Chain A
Amino acid sequence: MTDITKLTIHETLDELKKKNFSVTELTKAYLKNIDQAERYNAYITVCAERALEQAKTADQNYAKGTPRPLEGIPLGIKDLFCTKDIRTTAASHMLGNFVPPYESTVTEKLLNDGAVFLGKLNLDEFAMGGSNETSAFGPVVNPWSKDVDLVPGGSSGGSAAAVAAHLCAGATGTDTGGSIREPAAFCGCSGIKPTYGRCSRYGIIAFASSLDQAGPIAQDVTDCALLLESMSGYDAKDSTSYPTDVPNFVRFLHEDIKGLVVGMPKEYRPEGLNPEVAAYWDKTAEMLRARGAIVKEISLPHTQYALATYYVLAPAEASSNLARYDGIRYGYRASGDCHLDELYIKTRTQGFGAEVKRRIMIGTYVLSAGYYDAYYLKAQKMRRLIHDDFMKAFEQCDVILTPTSPITAFPIGDKEMLKNPINMYLNDVFTVSVNLAGLPAMSLPIGLAANGLPLGMQLIGKPFDEGTILNVAAKIEEDAGFERL
């Protein structure tokens, strides 16, 4: 028999229904993979016992003939989702021993649909980073690495690495400026960030509240559709979640794309764009054209301001969201008797890593009296213009096609990247606009660059039109024939 951990989720569900193997066997196989793949450092916490208990229940449900939609599917959970009675760290020393007494809405939905949780996945500290190098639990290694250890991308680096290396059947991620799509692209996985408001943020440790969205990372487009359907839905506990029905996303995958208009924004082809990336982009457009889609150039004129806008707004919200980690009520507290202000300073100095501190300082600065108008307010106005760009573009097209990242995975500790934080931020150039506009977007692998590493394509859709994205992605997936690890 072939390695059952290499199956996709939809294949696994078929096999489980046919009783070709049990959930317990499957879970054990994944746990074994996790054991043997410690070098990737994908997991912060593995919940073997608990997973096997959940597997037992799942097996019983199959025996009774009453399996739920994701019955027995072993998942990894980004360690930013609060999981009841399971340590949840946000990859920060600050929450190193934090065990939430509550479950996030998204993970609760997955549990209710029968998923098995293998453990909690590594990430950039508080999801701030694009390489998974800011984790207090050490960097994650990209399973595509050959001679040199490469980054998996970030912040959902553990999620993408675990999916690529078959350390889970699928994973949850969160995406504030590309944190699902970039690691998915770097690790040859598929990942979708749904429309802002599609998934509840309740119980997800906040980075930038107006940009954060949960979504899945999985092996293929169909798996993304299956997981997204389970994770989505209005939640009264999150006032920014949107009261709309969750469609059957898998059904979209089989629709025709004839006559569908695909836009390619000219601003996403700056001078000096990596020619390999440009070539794959054009090749993808060709595939869609061959299937009867109409491909046309569109314009998103404010694209050049997106990164600056993002790196004002996201840190501003983060500086406020992370204020609560002060050592008073839970989490890390600096030792020694001292005055309240001193306790705050010591706790936060010791508890946070360098990148988190940098963003808290940027955010505090841009909200300060005298700077608010010049930075925060201006960025808010630009955010509106970027949003309007997309709305105008969607008057002319149904979906937008762009590369996910201008580069492939780079080595851990890369000097160029570490020399200046801006170099790292530049990797987000194709992904942040989507979060600013609150739109759904997906990354899927398109092929390998000359260096043998995966490249991803991004599809951006209209608000709450994840269905069209998934449909187009399924066609590209079929034509690209990307070979997973």
Chain B
Amino acid sequence: MWRQKSKKMPVLKGYKMSEYVIETPKGKWEVIVGLEIHCQIISQSKIFSGASTEFGDDPNVNVSFVDAGMPGMLPTLNEHCVFQAVKTGLGLQAKINKYSEFSRKNYFYADMPTDYQITQFRYPIVGEGKVKIDLSDGSEKDIRIERMHIEQDAGKSIHDLSPTKSYIDLNRAGIGLMEIVTKPDFRAPEEAGAFLRKLRSILRYLKTCDGNMDEGSMRCDVNVSVRPFGTDELRTRCEMKNVNSVKFVMQAIENEAKRQIEQYENGLTVEQETRQFDPSTGQTKVMRKKEFAHDYRYFPEPDLPPLILSDEFIEKVRQDMVELPDAKKKRFIETLGLTAYDAMVICENQETADFFEKAAQGHDAKKVANWMMGDFFAMLNKKKCDIQNSPVSAENLGALVELISKDVISGKIAKDVFEIMSETGENPEKIVEEKGLKQVTDTSEIEKIIDQVIA
């Protein structure tokens, strides 16, 4: 009964090709999605204390008196976390707010030692920005960023070690987070997926967050609502907390949208509530109804003065910026002649892009890209190997392409050579030399051989 169409729908005013329409016997619906992403800031120490942020240490070893919420302890802001936040803001092409404020978000929970979270509420450090996403049909779309603020992470409650007790690990308590809030600009699960991949790519380029959703250093809350296709009303939304992979985010959107449509089509309403995504079933279930929503009693954090950024500080961050994936992609297309798709894939992470540039240095960049997209990635996948540990170095891949370009070897032979390279790590010239694989292109040489054979 569910039929999803894409690309074939008539293009409505203001909509792009990536339209995602859920069609039921009763009508057509579209989905409206906004994301809130918590990103752990890469920093040696926590955002308001000097304790280490090391992941995977024994429980409760990286906990200062401040992190434990001891009486009389006060937070002090880690300047590096501010640096990282501004850098991320610049990466999101966002407005950097020179004035921002910290607030307390009050709620009781065992892994929140002060029973309030220091966050930013009315005045976030980063304002509106945008992220360009690349869709599978080759189109691009801008997703608007509403804001980004910085705050402290909570500890972890561990409920499955004992049937009667809960355990608390405060190592994570106080680690700096950036919370990125998008506008409700997504109209398809694919768009949300593309956004998360692009965001992760940007954060990794910037080295401000490692973006590992499975380790929880990037966590996503998904807000979903639906409406009859073609209307512009905004209906009640539901929030799904901590959906922990790109795949799950897409799945959660799809299934939650279907659930809401079913509600409406059965004459029911959708209630504003917080829901939990269950990765094993792909379904969502109620976590907290609206009437049980917390009253967080936000108020300005009196222990920290407003955060005022100087032009010099922002300039210092700007100096530290790197070429981001979009700019790199554009350059690879425009100056190196790559296809949009190849450029996008190669630019998704910086190590790949760097490898490519090194390999393409002085050689046919397009051919290098082809090789990377084909045999090279296939080899890495097969060997389950990071590009940093590739047995085939960038220089050697470039040299291999050079041998093909100069007709020293044929494309077919090159595949054999590459096979040997990936086993031995040797350079292609040496392999070709030793194995006598040189292609003969001198016609007089060939004639000589023919004569010999006929004779």
Q: How distant is B354 from chain A, measured CB to nearest CB, in Å?
A: 39
Q: CB of B74 within 8 A of chain A?
A: yes
- When distances are taken between beta carbons in the complex, the residues of chain B under 8 Å from A330 are 70-71
Interface residues of B in 267-315 (CB under 8 A from A): 295, 297-299, 302-305
Q: How distant is A61 from chain B, measured CB to nearest CB, in Å?
A: 29
B72 touches A329 (CB 8 A): no
- When distances are taken between beta carbons in the complex, the residues of chain B under 8 Å from A376 are 299
Give the contacting residue for A323; candidates B65, B77, B114, B302; CB below 8 A.
B114
Q: How distant is B30 from chain A, measured CB to nearest CB, in Å?
A: 32
- When distances are taken between beta carbons in the complex, the residues of chain B under 8 Å from A467 are none
Interface residues of B in 87-114 (CB under 8 A from A): 104, 106, 108, 110, 113-114
Q: CB of B115 within 8 A of chain A?
A: yes
A449, B188: Cα distance in complex, Å: 80
Q: CB of A187 within 8 A of chain B?
A: no
Q: CB of A444 within 8 A of chain B?
A: no
A202 touches B113 (CB 8 A): no
- When distances are taken between beta carbons in the complex, the residues of chain A under 8 Å from B418 are none
Known: A323-B108, A324-B114, A344-B108. A237 touches B297 (CB 8 A): no
A132, B166: Cα distance in complex, Å: 39
Give the contacting residue for B76; candidates A90, A237, A317, A369; CB below 8 A.
A237
Give the contacting residue for A367; candidates B65, B113, B297; CB below 8 A.
B297
- When distances are taken between beta carbons in the complex, the residues of chain B under 8 Å from A240 are 302-305
Give the size of the chain A interface in residues (CB under 8 angstroms).
44
Q: CB of A205 within 8 A of chain B?
A: yes
Known: A337-B164, A367-B299. A237 touches B74 (CB 8 A): yes
Give the contacting residue for A328; candidates B73, B74, B110, B299; CB below 8 A.
B110
Q: How distant is B168 from chain A, measured CB to nearest CB, in Å?
A: 7
Interface 9-mer from A15-23, A31-39, A100-108, A288-296: A100-108
Give the contacting residue for A368; candidates B68, B108, B297, B302; CB below 8 A.
B297
A117, B22: Cα distance in complex, Å: 75
- When distances are taken between beta carbons in the complex, the residues of chain B under 8 Å from A239 are 74-77, 303-305
A205, B75: Cα distance in complex, Å: 14
Interface residues of A in 90-128 (CB under 8 A from B): 90, 95, 98, 100-102, 104
A201, B70: Cα distance in complex, Å: 13
B72 touches A320 (CB 8 A): no
Query: What sequence of 0s and 1s flags, for each residue 187-214 of chain A, a beta carbon within 8 Å of any chain B beta carbon?
Result: 0000000000000011111101110000
Q: CB of A418 within 8 A of chain B?
A: no
Query: What sequence of 0s and 1s flags, for each residue 307-330 of chain A, a beta carbon within 8 Å of any chain B beta carbon?
Result: 000000000110110011010111
Q: How distant is B46 from chain A, measured CB to nearest CB, in Å?
A: 14
Q: CB of A236 within 8 A of chain B?
A: yes
Interface residues of B in 378-399 (CB under 8 A from A): none
Q: How distant is A366 from chain B, measured CB to nearest CB, in Å?
A: 9
- When distances are taken between beta carbons in the complex, the residues of chain B under 8 Å from A81 are 72
A88, B72: Cα distance in complex, Å: 11
A209, B300: Cα distance in complex, Å: 11
Q: CB of B116 within 8 A of chain A?
A: yes
Q: CB of A159 within 8 A of chain B?
A: no
- When distances are taken between beta carbons in the complex, the residues of chain A under 8 Å from B70 are 100, 102, 329-330
Q: CB of B69 within 8 A of chain A?
A: yes
Give the size of the chain B interface in residues (CB under 8 angstroms).
30
Q: Which of A203, A205, A209, A324 has the most CB of B within 10 A?
A: A324
Interface residues of A in 353-369 (CB under 8 A from B): 364, 367-369
- When distances are taken between beta carbons in the complex, the residues of chain A under 8 Å from B302 are 208-210, 240, 317
Q: Which of B69, B74, B303 has the most CB of A within 10 A?
A: B74
In the complex, which residue of chain A has the Cβ closest to the Cβ of B299?
Answer: A367
Q: How distant is B174 from chain A, measured CB to nearest CB, in Å?
A: 14
In the complex, which residue of chain B has the Cβ closest to the Cβ of A95?
Answer: B71
- When distances are taken between beta carbons in the complex, the residues of chain B under 8 Å from A323 are 106, 108, 114-116
Known: A240-B303, A324-B113, A367-B299. A202 touches B164 (CB 8 A): no
Give the contacting residue for A202; candidates B72, B104, B297; CB below 8 A.
B72
B76 touches A329 (CB 8 A): no
Q: How distant is B129 from chain A, measured CB to nearest CB, in Å?
A: 28
- When distances are taken between beta carbons in the complex, the residues of chain B under 8 Å from A53 are none
A337, B168: Cα distance in complex, Å: 17
Q: CB of A407 within 8 A of chain B?
A: no
Interface residues of A in 325-351 (CB under 8 A from B): 326, 328-330, 337, 340-341, 344
A6, B65: Cα distance in complex, Å: 40
B71 touches A98 (CB 8 A): yes
Q: How distant is A342 from chain B, measured CB to nearest CB, in Å?
A: 12
Q: How distant is B165 from chain A, measured CB to nearest CB, in Å?
A: 10
A39, B253: Cα distance in complex, Å: 70
- Excluding A95-B71, A364-B297, A376-B299, 19 further A-B contacts by CB distance (< 8 Å) are A90-B71, A102-B72, A203-B72, A205-B72, A209-B303, A239-B76, A317-B299, A320-B106, A323-B108, A323-B114, A323-B116, A326-B115, A328-B113, A329-B68, A341-B108, A344-B108, A367-B106, A368-B295, A369-B295
Q: Could you list 13 examples of A-B contacts with CB < 8 Å?
A: A100-B71, A206-B72, A206-B303, A209-B303, A239-B303, A240-B302, A319-B106, A320-B116, A320-B299, A323-B114, A324-B69, A324-B113, A367-B297
Give chain B's interface residues, CB within 8 Å of chain A.
65, 68-77, 104, 106, 108, 110, 113-116, 164, 166, 168, 295, 297-299, 302-305
Give chain A's interface residues, CB within 8 Å of chain B.
81-82, 88, 90, 95, 98, 100-102, 104, 201-206, 208-210, 236-240, 316-317, 319-320, 323-324, 326, 328-330, 337, 340-341, 344, 364, 367-369, 372, 376
